[in-house]
Amino acid sequence: MRSYMLTISTAVIALTTTAIASDLPKEGKVNGTFSSVGTFKAMAVGKIFTAGIFDENGIGLGTPPLDHVTYRCIGVYTNLNGVAKAEGRCVNTDPSGDQFFGEFTVDLDSNNNGKGKNVYLGGTGKFEGMGGGHNYVLHGGDFKVSPELTAASTYVQQGIFEGEYKLNK
């Protein structure tokens, strides 16, 4: 089952900040790291097609406004004849409680490592109307979990991201 897990995490990821709105420039570059843990459920849909869903929680550390955020992502994984992809959406929360939303896609190799893109879809508070996005590199297959966690369809992953944001306020 481990070969059917994935993500984002996105994306993941899509991330937010510790600064107040007046401290944030209206636009800028972002970069940093993310780490997450998630669960997945996969099913064979045919002889060469597997699909699954995942639920993932993580943290992001980086440049404002993508620093000290927690996130939750929900998404779908597919593997058709060895070509694996994942996509989903994330809610990111900064320490003040403001939230930022993102949508991600990632192409995965046979070890669940991959490259993806996250698009920012706005948010609440200081992130209302936020746009931009980031590219990321995901290291999912580089980490092994205990047999108990593998049996429970749990995975861990880490990655790096780089991109740009724009605040509309």
- Kindly report whether the global pTM for this prediction surpasses the value 0.85: no
**What pLDDT was estimated at residue 22?**
52
**What pLDDT was estimated at residue 60?**
97
**What pLDDT was estimated at residue 24?**
80
DSSP string, 26-54: SEEEEEEEEEEEEEEEEEE-SSSEEEEEE
Q: Model confidence over 55-110: pLDDT tens digits?
A: 999 999 999 989 999 999 999 999 999 999 999 999 999 999 999 999 999 999 98
Here the tokens at position 135 are 């590219």
Per-residue exposure over 101-121, b if at least 16 CB sit within 10 Å of its own CB, e if not: bbbbbbebeeebbbebbbbbb
Q: Are 92 and 119 in contact (CB under 8 A)?
A: no
Q: Model confidence over 2-56: pLDDT tens digits?
A: 443 444 333 333 333 334 445 788 999 999 999 999 999 999 999 999 999 999 9
Fold held by 2-166 = AOC barrel-like (2.40.350)
Residue 48: how many CB atoms within 10 A of its CB? 11
